[in-house]
Chain A
Amino acid sequence: MLDKSVLDQYTTTIGIECHVQFKTKTKLFSAVDNDAREAPANTLVSHIDFGLPGALPVLNKEAVHLALRAAFALGTEPQKFSKFDRKHYFYPDLPLGYQITQYDEPIILGGAVEIEVDGQKKTIGVTRAHMEADAGKSTHPTGTDYSLVDLNRAGTPLLEIVSEPDMHTASEAKAYVRELYLRMRYADVSDCNLYYGNMRFDVNVSVSKTDELGTRSETKNLNSFRAVEKAVEYEVKRQIELLEKGEKIVQETRGWNDAKQQTFSQRSKENAEDYRYMPDPDLPPVVLDNPYIEKVKAEMPAMPDEWRERLSKLGSDRAQTDTLLEAELDAPEVNYLELIEQNIANQAFAKQLANWFVNIEIPARRDEKVLNPGKNAERLAFYQAVYELVAGGKLSSTNAKTLITDVLAAHAYPQNVAQHAEEQGFIQVSDEGEIAKVVTQVLAENAKAAEDVKSGEAKAIGFLVGQVMKASKGKANPQMAQELIKKQLGQ
């Protein structure tokens, strides 16, 4: 185990390449269905994907459109001129003998993504992002000497987003990939389904004791935010241990074993010149004009940062806002964000609404416990009525939670929320006389605690308030109960 004093001598540097699968109907260069999730092997293939002699790839217009949206989502403008190149290497899942990608003139250059870790904001630079075709999918039956290749996925359009080496901790790496996920989802560029590999991450990690960067390893094909975080942690530890033993880091590609939570060596990395990049003569360049760029820019929906800005008036923390941002993606028809925003002028209510969404409704929806088919307007009116009861001291926050949970699971919203709460026995008693009676009874039954309060033990009063709440079946206004206890004990 490495000592913290040793770890602290090293600076970690992390850069991340992220492959995002565009949500197009067809592949990048062939007019073949792009949804390879459940299709039988080698049924979504064409002469273009097989790289047969004479096959001519033709660029999918929608992929370019989505690349423009991705550019705006990454806080930049698309490049007016970009072209495609061939990256040569031989692998059985790549029938062409080269991958069609964008080398020196990609569609996106520059960009920035802001993350927040432990309350600290930080900007991660985006070096570039380029369109490229995916390879096929291989399986390796155990105990055999062969592999099997399915080319359904070959030619699927990807956007590879390359970050600057601006991250220095595993938490920053995780925050960055989560933010990319949110942005790509809000821009509607990709389904970002991690299970189906719609988003995959390659993580470059190096450590150094000096200002000079250390030798890096690249851990490829991570398919969850957690795996990104864990792979970085593992690599930092592995590399520092090697260096402390006086050994050298080998520049190499590594894989990730999720079961063991370890990286493992795959192959030494080829140099860029080994790929013998050349412009693809089959594919004319993409030239974008201003009207088209402006048109796509105008159609962009609000991005996560804009929502954070809009909701910032609530003063809620980033974690809460991000929970709302993610929940919105799971159930856009529920309109969490818009309902909060509509009411932002009434800050106290908007804030309470955000809290109820995050603490009650979002978890309830995840557990499929929201059955109420009522419209959003009815739902909002219900929350408003509950809020008024709480603000007026008639409903405790605990009872409000129960009430909301029950009504979300019901088949309709109550016509009259106050009456409904009353019938359910949720309405808080704020009648001093009634509470005073309960207090007298509780003090008589808990003489020891009452004595403790008298002799200045502050904790005992909490206990007594609890007893009053219990005796009143949760209906007593707890603040009033506390005041009355003090009063009756002459405090």
Chain B
Amino acid sequence: MADLSHDDVLKLARLARLNLTDEEVAEFAGELTEILHYVEQLQAVDVAGLKPTNQVSGLVNVMRKDEVVDYGYVPKELLKNVPKVQDDHLHVKRMIG
């Protein structure tokens, strides 16, 4: 496994909406590369015939009835967690031109 490049880290940061300084990029390139190398060791293990573990709970079919449930609060209260509200809408940076 090749080491993570400066550009790889910048791309990951962009996808995660993180703004990194050059020093941070260098720092994370090192740390993430180490993690990749660790995973590389795991990949050496023969797992032929094993199903991937997507869930550790062992549960299946956890479902609810199609009925409205009163969660015990006024839905609009949720807007109190939003940084900026206008006319009961979330006010965000313009998305399109």
- A: residues with CB less than 8 A from B are 24-26, 31-33, 40-47, 50, 52, 58-64, 83, 88-92, 136, 138-140, 144-151, 274, 276, 279, 281, 283-287
Contacts and interface: CB of A to CB of B under 8 A. Distances in A.
A148 B68 contact: no
B90 A149 contact: yes
A50 B78 contact: yes
Contacts of A26: 66-68
Nearest to A29: B64
A126 B8 CA distance: 36
A311 B92 CA distance: 55
A61 B91 CA distance: 34
B69 interface: yes
Which 7 A-B pairs have CB atoms at the shortest separation, nearest pair first?
A: A31-B69, A62-B66, A148-B89, A279-B54, A284-B59, A149-B90, A92-B92
B80 to A, nearest CB: 11
Given A46-B78, A276-B15, 18 more contacts: A25-B67, A31-B64, A42-B79, A42-B88, A45-B75, A50-B81, A59-B62, A60-B63, A61-B63, A61-B66, A90-B15, A92-B95, A138-B92, A145-B94, A147-B93, A150-B90, A151-B90, A281-B56
Interface in B48-92: 54-57, 59-69, 71, 75-76, 78-79, 81, 86-92
Contact of B75 (A46, A89, A91): A46
For chain B, the bracket of interface size reads: 35 or more
Contact of B67 (A31, A63, A284, A287): A31
Contact of B68 (A32, A136, A138): A32
Interface in B29-65: 54-57, 59-65
Nearest to B17: A90
A62 B66 CA distance: 6
B61 A284 contact: yes
Given A41-B89, A140-B96, A285-B54, A88 B67 contact: no
A217 to B, nearest CB: 18
Contacts of A146: 86, 91-94
Contacts of A145: 93-94
A144 to B, nearest CB: 7
A223 B55 CA distance: 37
A133 B15 CA distance: 21
B6 to A, nearest CB: 18
28 contacts: A25-B68, A26-B67, A31-B71, A41-B89, A42-B89, A50-B78, A52-B78, A58-B63, A59-B64, A61-B64, A61-B66, A88-B15, A92-B95, A136-B90, A138-B95, A139-B89, A140-B94, A144-B94, A146-B91, A147-B96, A149-B89, A149-B92, A150-B90, A274-B15, A284-B59, A284-B60, A285-B55, A286-B63
B55 A279 contact: yes
Contacts, number: 125
Interface of B: 15-17, 54-57, 59-69, 71, 75-76, 78-79, 81, 86-96
Q: Is the interface of B mostly helix, strand, loop or mixed?
A: loop
B81 to A, nearest CB: 7
Contacts of B59: 284
Given A44-B75, A138-B95, A148 B54 contact: no
A150 B78 CA distance: 12
Contacts of B96: 140, 147
Contacts of A286: 60-61, 63
A33 B75 CA distance: 12
Nearest to A292: B61
B63 A59 contact: yes
A442 to B, nearest CB: 71
Contacts of B61: 284-287
Contacts of B16: 90
B78 to A, nearest CB: 5
Contacts of B55: 83, 279, 281, 284-285
A486 B71 CA distance: 86
Nearest to A64: B63
Contacts of B71: 31, 46-47
A83 B54 contact: yes
B90 A148 contact: yes
A373 to B, nearest CB: 35
B33 to A, nearest CB: 18
B66 A60 contact: yes
B89 A58 contact: no
Contact of A42 (B54, B75, B95): B75
A45 B88 contact: no
Contacts of A151: 90
